[in-house]
Amino acid sequence: MSRRAAQLSFKIILSALAALVLLLAVAVYILPFIVNPNDFKPEITAAVKDKTGRELVLDGDLKLSLLPWIGVSTGKLSLSNAPGFQDRPFATLEESDIKVRLLPLLSKKLEVSRIVLKGLTLNLAKNRQGVSNWDDLTAKTAASAAVAGKQDEQPASAPTPMTFSVDGLTIENARINWDDLKSETHIKIQDFNLNTDKFTFDQPVAVSTSMTVLTEGSKSTQAIKFNTELSVNEKLDAFTLRQSNLQITSAGESIPGKSITATLSAADAALDMNRQTANINGVKLISGDVALAAEITATSIKDKPSFQGPVTIAPFSPAKVMQQLAIALPAMQDANALSKLAANFDLTATGNSADLQNLGITLDDTQINGAIHIKDFAQAMISFDLNIDALDAGRYLPVADKSSKPIASPAIALAAGISALPVETLRKLNADGSVALGKLKINGLSMQDIRMSLSSKNGVFTSQQSVKQLYQGSYSGNLSVDAHGDKPALAVTEKVEHVQIEPLLKDYKGSAPIGGIVNASAQLRGQGRKPDELEASLNGQLSFLFKDGVIKGFNLQKIIDQGKALIKGSALPSDSKNDQTLFSEMSGTATVANGLIQNNDLVAKSSRLRVDGKGNLNLVSEALDYKIDAKLLDPDAAEPDKIKGAVAINIEGTLDKPSYTIDVASLLTDKNKAKVEKLINKIDKKIGPGLGDLLKGLLKK
């Protein structure tokens, strides 16, 4: 071809291209005027019906644009619900706008303008069989993907990959209604707003969203805000988030303080769906003065999610937090109690379990270490192994009058606490663990080296507890609580050995009417939900042995001597404020029936006394009703155990304030009764009939 011919051919090609460009330009500007997209509504709705089986209703106008963007804007539209669900649209939309840049398509570049969706409403639902109203859509999508996958298997040249970018996404004033009939959950999400910057694969994009959540039946609302920088790869299986911040504000009459805000943030997070792993660094959860920090890794996030990492809760004041939340602080013996709480542990968690290892808790001056494992959240399966250095439990208890405190053994006190729990909770509780305390102080009592093991399964709670150092002695006990009935039924076995009873009673009650070294055992059964119900229902056996003891408030030897003086007409009994009776040994057994302790074999002795007695004690009222026969031995007699004098004494009142009354009749014989009556008549004349009547009453006993 000659040079002139080549030039001519080139001019022809350029002219043709110029004509083509001109034709396209004319078409772009003329087409919107001659083609009305609303004319294609029937074809569009038919295509949607064919692909989804749903009815698409286009109430608004469709607007078409070509240069520099090819796109469409819609007015109001709606998509029908799945068959078998409520007669309301699956989705409605007030307005939308989406455009694609035309010329980049020629070079395999998909550039989308900002997508705008206004007034979107989604009505999501799940029926009682667990089928959702979008399952049919996902099934059709999966089928289409399978067909496309088969087509891809055909030999073909590798296509040039298409790049993708979106200038942004805006969703304004959307609503989502969620009705789950299977779980009877009904949630409304309103004022949903979402904004993103320009999106390109593997590049960070700013994302911000906000919404308000209302749950049916709840008197509170949750305002949620979330901001992050999101990166996504082209395969949509790797996600990176940076500087993420989630804020939730709960408000309503049922919320303590009517409003509470919690903020969850993370420095960065990486999610790999292909490897099923996630790493979340710099996690912080803050609500008021409470701050939690963690570093979390996750594995098997699609199949069986598992999360691991260290967690730290910074020191805060529970008392201050309760005040901030308008929660009434309980009255406690120590005004500075609950002023500090902190914790740290290594967490391993799944969807239904949590394992806390290397647990360290600081509660005021108490240090707690060990491990807690929740095996199953649904079945409340818990195991634990805790070590506590020193605990003053009394700091957290209400201020109480020591004189009015009921006597309760460790097992009975534990039973009262367990029985106070709802029966259904006890039946569901599955727990197994142990607690060791170096030092414990409760209700004024001090003890050391405490061990307790607990087990609860199928509605039966059991425990074994021991105190190796209890007022120079020791304690051991077993408890069983059966929650199968309307009221929990308990069985208790307890034993104390070589315990100094006087300092124990002084610490516990503020005073000690009796002292000595005590060995005692009990086997009891009862039922009830409150301490007084338990005590009133107790049945069983008791045994006790006091050595080197003392009973304060009366002196048996002095009473016998004064009784003799009364018979002889001598002086009246003197003040007995500082009187006491010493004994080398006192023992007995008792039966317990409906909270009443009946003792028929009380025996006490010392070098000069021999005492026999019987009576009862009401555990609920602590009322005493005892009668003892005391014999005074003659130390100068040649015969051992020769009786020098005897008296019968009635003991009434309560454990705190016992009263002693001499059975005068036990001192009298027919020979000297007349002498006593003459003495009483003399008292009536000098003092008045009051004291004389009292003595006559005693004489008749």
pLDDT-based confidence at residue 403 (cuts at 50, 70, 90): low
CB atoms within 10 A of CB 110: 13
What amino acid occupies position 355?
D
- Please say whether the beta carbons of 598 and 540 come within 8 A: no
**Angle of CA points 561, 566, 568, to nearest 5°:** 95
User: What is the SS3 string spanning 331-346?
Assistant: CCCCCCCCCCEEEEEE
Nearest-10 crossing angle of helices 135-152, 41-52:
90
Q: How many helices (H) and strands (E) does the chain have?
A: 11, 37
Q: Which stretches does DSSP call E strand in 216-331?
A: 220-232, 238-252, 259-272, 277-287, 290-299, 306-316
CB-CB contact of 289 with 324 (8 Å): yes
Residue 212 in contact with residue 190, Cβ under 8 Å? yes
Q: What is the pLDDT of residue 698?
A: 47
Lowest mean pLDDT among 45-49, 198-202, 412-416, 478-482: 412-416
- List the structure tokens of 403: 């004189």
Q: For 159-200, how does the pLDDT look when each residue is reduced to its tens digit (9 = 90+)? A: 555 566 778 889 999 999 999 988 888 999 999 999 999 888
Q: Helices marked H in 123-278 — which ranges? A: 135-152
464: exposed, middle or buried (Cβ count in 10 Å: 0-12, 13-18, 19+): middle
Cα distances (angstroms) measured from residue 689 to each of 390, 575, 664: 61, 21, 18
Structure tokens, 497: 């050995």
The yes-or-no verdict on residue 263 having pLDDT over 50 is yes
Statement: residue 7 has pLDDT above 70: no
Looking at mean pLDDT, say which of 396-405, 437-446, 528-537, 641-650 comes out highest: 437-446
pLDDT of residue 142: 55
Rounded Cα–Cα distance for residues 489 and 283 (Å): 47
Listed in sequence order, the residues at least 6 apart from 279 whose beta carbon sits closer than 8 Å to its beta carbon are 269, 270, 296, 297, 298
Q: Is the per-residue pLDDT at 382 higher than 80? A: yes
pLDDT tens digits, residue range 571-616? 545 555 677 888 899 999 999 998 899 999 999 888 888 889 999 9
Round to whole Å and give the CA distance between 611 and 605: 6
Helix (H) / strand (E) element for 22: namely helix 3-34
Mean pLDDT of 362-380: 91
pTM of the model: 0.75
User: Is a pLDDT exceeding 90 seen at residue 410?
Assistant: no
pLDDT above 90 (res 158): no
Instruction: Kindly state the tokens that stand for 379.
Output: 């079945």
Listed residue (228, 217, 227, 221) closest to 189, CA to CA: 221
Closest CA to 631 of 642, 622, 623, 615: 642
Q: Which residue has the higher pLDDT, 118 or 657?
A: 118
Q: What is the mean pLDDT of residues 430-440?
A: 92
Judge whether residue 684 has pLDDT over 70: no
**Mean pLDDT, residues 448-458 taken together:** 90
Report pLDDT digits (tens) over 567-578: 555 554 555 567
For 106-151, write each residue's pLDDT tens digit. Answer: 666 667 788 888 999 999 999 988 899 888 887 655 555 555 555 5
